Structure 1
Amino acid sequence: MEPVQQSQTINQHNASNTQGVKLNENSYGPFKEHNEVPKPCWKIPSFKEKQSSGYILFSLYNGPEHHASQIANAVVVARHLGAKLVLPDIRGTKLGEKRDFGEIYDVKKFVASLDGVVQVAKVKPAEISSVKATAVRVPDRVSKDFITATIKPIFSTNKNLRLATYFDALSMENSKETVDSNAYQCLAAFGSLKLQSDLLELVDSMIGTLRSMSQKMGGRFVAVDLRFDMLGKKRCHKNVVSSERCYNAEEIGEFLNKIGFHKETAVYLTQTGWHGRLDLLRDIFPNTFTKDAIVPAYERAKFMGSEGREYEQFIDFNICSQSDVFVPAYPSRFYASVAGNRIASGKTQIFVPAEKTSEIANHYLSPYIARKSHFAHSCFCV
């Protein structure tokens, strides 16, 4: 076959695999040419309620995939109670390990985003420093009815509450509540958190490196949430949320190849450090990288050393949220939260591996996108 004919055949094959998704003429594979960024559907009423003397305290924990929901709960509770919100700290994976909010997130952005919604105390006020706050457990996406019936009576007696959000499932299904009642949840979950400048610059630099490694693909790359510590989890064998199972490195490579991604496509993996079992994926896609390979040398000690391991999850979360295509190797809260961020930015190409014979990429589109089953769809209008 002549080279020109071969190129035309490849283009025709990939075009058919995307069911009408228009491809850039310089790229191969099911990449969308443009992402339409949706607009927020919510409207926040002006701040009229008189503030009480009480405070809502809380911590962020269990990684960035939980933080937006924890923020949203705290904001909703504080708003309905008329309480002030104390800037949270961030708990690490080890007992007693914690960071200031500003070490990870932009404090000015956070406070400004909530202007007119709740008042935020950047430091714990002196008048409550010696007072132990009453602990209250609240469900993810707490409702106004729950706040009125369960939390408000406690707040009436104990003006300082410490919230702890609990999560019942991996999914983030679309809420049945109206857009208006979801307004504070939407604003807090998708409009308040931004990485602090140093960490944001690092993520941007790493994304730039991935795009340069994928120049033949128009600078586009695929991010895959694949970590070997997750593959042995119980949910990999039987997941109560969906029929999805876990896929290893070789299966991910075969999947990406099957749905039409060119071998020159850059692939980013959330795995920390290279592992021999990743070689089978790199055999199919040579431009496969873990974060260790693309972190600038001068940032390695700060963000990848023994003192910086907690930063890695934020790097992964943001790269997966911003990649051109995202592929989860297993069902998880990480996948669900990344999907929410991608819906908010219009990056809706999320392909979930499945035991199908189809070579059409859109046949593997995430249910969060295909069925609009994600909570984020109630927050944004295309």
Structure 2
Amino acid sequence: MTQSGINGGSCGSSRTRRKQRAALGSARREEATASDVGVGEIYNVEKFVENVNAVVKVATDPADVTADKPATLRIPNRPTAAFISEQIEPIYRSTRNVKLVSFFPSLNMKIRGLQKTELDQCFCLGMFGTLELQSDIHDVADQMLERLRTITDNSGGHFIAIDLRLDMLQQKGCEGAHGTKKCFSALEVGNFLQKIGFNSETVIYVTQSRWHEDLDELKTLFPRTYTKVEHLSASRTSLLLHVTKWSGSFASVLEFRGFGTFFRESVISIEKKDEFLNLENSELEKVIDFYICTHSDVFVPAIPGLFYANVAGQRIASGRTQILVPTRNPTSGASDFLSHYISDKSHLAYSCLC
């Protein structure tokens, strides 16, 4: 597998290549809201502009384009050439100023055919050849990754990342056909991993931001289960014993199960916790989760959707194809539960990178 396709190839070689101007929003982190974190605060803007230069001219200040309010257009996942020519191009030509807002009424990562089209080349460029994290965010994510590897002394530095956000479990996206469910609780994921052969010493990272009591059952099966920040679990008795051992900038755990009270480790450094986790639904937090899930030895999506599909694409690109999809009653080994993106090679990434 090569990466010859990620440079965009013939992306934009004909009429779609016209170097239209795109505005790249900016927002300072200290002024950001939960839904308004500037692109430049997370990604390297200079690198982005360099990577897309052959396709689109990027203006870093929206005022450089126009002072008029742009027309907002909702763009579905992987729009067709017909959609672009019929729904986007006429409005752009008349206003010269549009705001594209992506939405995902359905998720389609399938390869469309044996030959990549010009539009597919653009999708590949957007998916794999444009974005790089800012150095400070990359450093924090790397430190968390290293922290997880250093506490896996009995498993050779290997760990599992589970995308499990408890607030998502009750949403409609978890409902399958005929009353079935496509999402899995912490206990269900724990039982799945145990039945396919993972032992209790396995280190697990969960994308849930902070510890929640619903994760306790997973912790019982796999004591080395961590979220981003430390947590104190209430004792069954009236005695509380607060013991913390410090190692560098991380809080390490001394567990006293006899008292029923223990500190759980912080995976993110204490001095970075407030900066990266102080916004509800923080985009920074999601970026960190994405980084860890794409670099873990095994990835388990307890929730279907775009995050899973994008993580799968990046893992395919890097050769980390151990993606295990849970089931409630596994009767065989881990290899039988590989993601269909891997077993069927049905992800667009295979087309982009080969």
Question: Could you say whether these structures have the same fold, taking a TM-score greater than 0.5 normalized by the shorter chain as the test?
Answer: yes
User: Structure 1: how far apart are the matches of 2:323 and 2:72?
Assistant: 38
Give secondary structure in 1 for the equivalent of 2:327.
coil
Gaps of 5+ in 2: 230-265
- Measured in 2, the distance between the counterparts of 1:136 and 1:154 equals 9
2:174 to 210, 231, 236: 236
Moved over 6 A (4+): 46-49
Deviates more, 1:101-110 or 1:352-361: 352-361
- Asked if 1 retains the 8 angstrom alpha-carbon contact of 2:161 and 2:292, the reply is yes
Is the CA contact (8 Å cut-off) linking 1:38 and 1:345 kept in structure 2?
no
SS of the residue 1:136 aligns to: strand
User: What is the deviation of 1:225?
Assistant: 0.7
Q: Which residue of 2 aligns with 1:204?
A: 142
Deviations 1:214-254 (A, max 9, x none): 122111110001111111112323269x9762211112111
C-alpha contact 1:38 1:344 (8 A) present in aligned 2 = no
> 2:303 aligned with 1:338, yes or no?
no
CA distance in 2, matches of 1:314, 1:343: 18
1:164 aligns with 2:101: yes
CA deviations 1:79-131 (Å, max 9, x no partner) are 44531222145899x98952221111111221121132322112224451x22
| 1:169 counterpart letter in structure 2 | S
Counterparts in 2 of 1:347 and 1:312: CA distance versus 1, 3 Å: same
Deviation at 1:160, TM superposition (A): 1.7
Q: Distance in 2 between matches of 1:87 and 1:121?
A: 6
Question: Is the Cα–Cα contact under 8 Å of residues 302 and 308 in structure 1 kept in the other structure?
Answer: no
- Whether 1:87 aligns to 2:24 is yes
Q: Secondary structure of the residue that 1:216 maps to in structure 2? A: coil
In structure 2, C-alpha distance between the alignment counterparts of 1:47 and 1:183, rounded to whole Å: 8
SS at match of 1:321: helix
- Give the direction of change, closer, same or farther, for the CA distance of 1:352–1:90 in structure 2 (3 Å limit): farther
CA contact (8 A) 2:77 2:108 kept: no
Aligned to 1:39: 3
Aligned length: 314
- For 1:272, the equivalent position in structure 2 comes to 209
The Cα shift of 1:308 comes to 8.8
- Tell me if 1:145 matches 2:82: yes
Secondary structure at 1:229 match in 2: helix
SS in 2 for 1:217: coil
Question: Which residue does 1:222 correspond to in 2?
Answer: 160
The worse-fitting range, judged by mean Cα deviation, of 162-171 and 317-326 is: 162-171
Residue 362 of structure 1 and its aligned partner are, at CA, apart by: 1.1
Counterpart selection for 2:301 from 328, 331, 345? 328
Deviations 1:113-154 (A, max 9, x none): 1132322112224451x2222232332212223222332222
Q: 1:363: which partner in 2?
A: 336
Question: Matches of 2:222 and 2:212 in 1, distance apart?
Answer: 15
Change (3 A) 1:308 1:373: closer
Equivalent residue letter for 1:342: R
Higher normalized contact order (CA 8 Å, seq sep 6+, divided by chain length): 1
Task: Determine the C-alpha separation between the residues in 2 that align with 1:305 and 1:159.
Answer: 38
Q: 1:269 to 1:171 in 2, by over 3 A?
A: farther
- Determine if the alignment matches structure 1 residue 317 to structure 2 residue 329: no
Does the CA-based 8 Å contact 2:188-2:328 persist in structure 1?
A: no
Deviation at 1:177, TM superposition (A): 7.6
| Contact in 1 for aligned 2:33/2:279 (Cα 8 Å) | no
Task: Report the Cα offset of residue 291 of structure 1.
Answer: 1.0
Q: Distance in 1 between matches of 2:151 and 2:322?
A: 20
DSSP 3-state at the match of 2:161: strand
Counterparts of 1:280-295 in structure 2 under 5 Å? 280-292=217-229, 293-295=266-268
**Alignment-derived partner of residue 373 in structure 1:** 346
Query: What is residue 274 of structure 2 aligned with on the other side?
Result: 301
What percentage of aligned pairs have identical amino acids? 39
Counterpart-to-counterpart distance in 2, 1:46 and 1:376: 16
Distance across 1 between alignment mates of 2:12 and 2:282:
40
In 2: Cα distance, 1:46 partner to 1:140 partner: 18
Cα contact 2:22–2:59 (8 A) shared by 1: yes
Residue 252 (1) aligns with residue 225 (2): no
SS state at 2:331 partner:
coil
| One-letter identity of the residue aligned with 1:379 | C
User: Residue 251 of structure 2 corresponds to which residue in structure 1?
Assistant: none
Q: Does 1:118 align with 2:22?
A: no
What is the CA-CA distance between 1:187 and the residue it aligns to? 0.8
Give me the whole-angstrom Cα distance separating, in 2, the residues matched to 1:158 and 1:138. 17
- CA contact 2:192–2:329 (8 Å) conserved in 1: no
Return the alpha-carbon distance in structure 2 between the equivalents of residues 272 and 352 of structure 1.
21
Task: Give the whole-Å Cα distance in 2 for the aligned partners of 1:354 and 1:203.
Answer: 30
Q: Distance in 1 between matches of 2:50 and 2:322?
A: 31
Q: Deviations over 1:163-216 (max 9, x none)?
A: 122312144333348324211110111111121111111100000000011122
